[in-house]
Amino acid sequence: MQALCTQAKSFTRLLDEAECYRQLRQLRWPDGQVRCPYCGSEYITKCWTYFRQPACRRYQCGCCGLSFNDKTGTIFEHTKLPLAAWFLGFYLAQLSQSTAAIARELPCDYHTAQRIVWLVREQVVRLEEGRVLQGTVEADEIYVTAGHKGQAPGGGCKALTFPPSAEGQKARTGTRERGQG
């Protein structure tokens, strides 16, 4: 964890909220032309900032009349977590940090960290969509939660783990053969 904290300190530039919003605007509108997420118009009549979020710009569309901000229509919309925390969370998730570790580093609650991890995984799947694996393919092992062990596929109730007996024997795992125990 010490190494992680040291690494996070080197991200001062990214952790600057104004810089994060600049990065977001550059990703959304690479040519610098703000477009309305509702009608696609480039006719913006007004641009202002929030008192509590001076880094976030709000715009008024001159075509449909609706207002929107830098985060409207993105995964950051309606979130109270600072943009810098999201960016750092994405970075940590890409480093395969655990959800609990991300929640500690940001800091945020476990469910928010879990959402960040899922968003990163969804994005990775989207980017890899259509990619055909070739040659020798290796897959990592899968972790099965204890709650699902011994259950038949599809939620069946064929338990394969038996509870300890009254004599205090350990639970046995496996299929029960006829005539045994």
Residue 39 or 124 having the CB closest to Zn ion? 39
The beta strand positions in 42-179, using DSSP E, are 44-49, 57-61, 67-69
Least Cβ distance, residue 37 to Zn ion (angstroms):
8
Least Cβ distance, residue 2 to Zn ion (angstroms):
49
Q: Give which of 104, 83, 145, 71 is closest to 4, Cα–Cα.
A: 104
Residue 73 or 107 having the CB closest to Zn ion? 73
Residue pair 56/71 in contact (Cβ under 8 Å)? The answer is yes
Greatest Cα-to-Cα distance within the chain, rounded to the nearest angstrom: 82
Binding-site residue total for Zn ion (CB under 5 A)?
7
Residue 34 or 113 having the CB closest to Zn ion? 34
Least Cβ distance, residue 126 to Zn ion (angstroms):
26
For residue 124, state whether it binds Zn ion (rule: CB under 5 A): no
Cα–Cα distance measured from residue 36 to residue 127, given in angstroms and rounded to the nearest whole number: 25
For residue 114, state whether it binds Zn ion (rule: CB under 5 A): no
For the segment 12-71, give every residue that binds Zn ion (CB under 5 A). 36, 38-39, 41, 61, 63-64
With a CB cutoff of 8 Å and minimum separation 6, the contacts of 39 are: 61, 63, 64, 66
Q: Which residues bind Zn ion (CB under 5 A)?
A: 36, 38-39, 41, 61, 63-64
